Amino acid sequence: MTEGSVAVAPDRIPEDLFPVINALCEVGRSLSRTIARGPLGGSLGHSVGENSDGDSQKALDVMADEAFAEALTKTAVRWYASEEQDSVVALGPQGRYALAIDPLDGSSNIDVNVSIGTIFSIFEAKEGADESFLRPASEQVAAGYIIYGPQTALVVTFGQGVLHYVLDPETNEFLLVRDGVEIPTNSSEFAINASNYRHWAKPVRAYIDDCLAGSTGPREKNFNMRWVASLVAETHRIISRGGIFLYPSDEREGYRHGRLRMVYECAPIAFLIEQAGGKATNGTDRILAQTASELHARTPFIFGTSVKVDRVAAYFDLPDEEVSALFGNRGLFRA
């Protein structure tokens, strides 16, 4: 199959959105080949500057952003908002859709051969550029990610369940392998960066302490911790195996409103997670009920199996003195 031909099987993809999804997949399969070559394709992981929020940009970040923007100009996308751009870019004045994208999530892992990905979100376009994205996350009409790992896969929702496609290396086409993907309800895994423990709010520390207490603690169960530092990789594991992901806010400069971006990361992942039967919150409130205050706004992010996300919310609902008592009695990381 040659470049420019159909990149994804049209199974279950709405006709009006197919050209957009196909363009994303065309770039995705090209990036997959580039990433697979690693250092044979040049130094893709070296820093080439910073984005508007001061995060380091890798060479492949910029390459991916340019490739997606170019491919989408041939589709019905009117407004293009990228994590790598300071502001919204106008692609087609008559376009029907507004597309937000993190062109290369997890780019800090490029040089160590860990799964990375592309996250995207699609809304019906409005007349204004910013207003097309600064709206309730529940108004998304589609969201998904492409993961570049041992398999290159597309996981996408159009609001009627979650579809899982895999890039077939024989045909160079994304083929549907699972329809109606659901997050497993039983899992003993949680994902969090434990090195930040001292910075977390008491409810988060209390929840993690109870997990680490294992079978002799209040949860009466042993848990395993996972941390990949790639949101796409974390999401794909949870959709496949269940569990919970936590990236809470803390008191450090730059983390007080969380670290992950609402428009480009949290909103689309939350849409996928809910469509797969899970929940996604900022710790207490549903992500899909929220509206970003600005394009690059950040938010705390907790998602996964519904019962686990509800349990974290319950810790936040406790009076501070009760959480303090829990933490004082069961804080496992104290000296």
Q: What distance in Å separates the CA atoms of residue 165 and residue 160, rounded to the nearest whole number?
A: 16
Q: What pLDDT is attached to residue 39? A: 82
Q: What distance in Å separates the CA atoms of residue 266 and residue 272, rounded to the nearest whole number?
A: 10
Domains of the chain: 18-179 (3.30.540.10), 189-330 (3.40.190.80)
3-state secondary structure of 27: helix
3-state secondary structure of 146: strand
Could you tell me which residues are beta bridge partners of residue 91? none
| pTM for this entry | 0.92
Strands 173-179 and 279-281: unpaired
Q: What pLDDT is attached to residue 325? A: 60
Q: In Å, how far from its chain's centre is CA 226? A: 16
Smallest CA-to-CA distance from 175 within 25, 33, 3, 4 is with 25
Per-residue tokens: 296 = 């690059």
Mean pLDDT by 10 residues, the chain (335 residues): 72 96 98 88 56 67 95 97 97 95 90 92 98 98 97 98 97 97 95 96 95 93 95 97 97 93 98 98 97 97 97 90 59 36
pLDDT tens-digit series, residues 49-66: 555 565 667 788 999 999
Beta strands in 169-295 (DSSP E): 173-179, 189-191, 224-226, 244-247, 260-261, 279-281
Q: For residue 65, what are the contacts with CB-CB under 8 A and spacing of at least 6?
A: 82, 84, 85, 101, 103, 104
Per-residue tokens: 160 = 């009627």
Per-residue tokens: 86 = 């300071």
Q: What pLDDT is attached to residue 53? A: 61
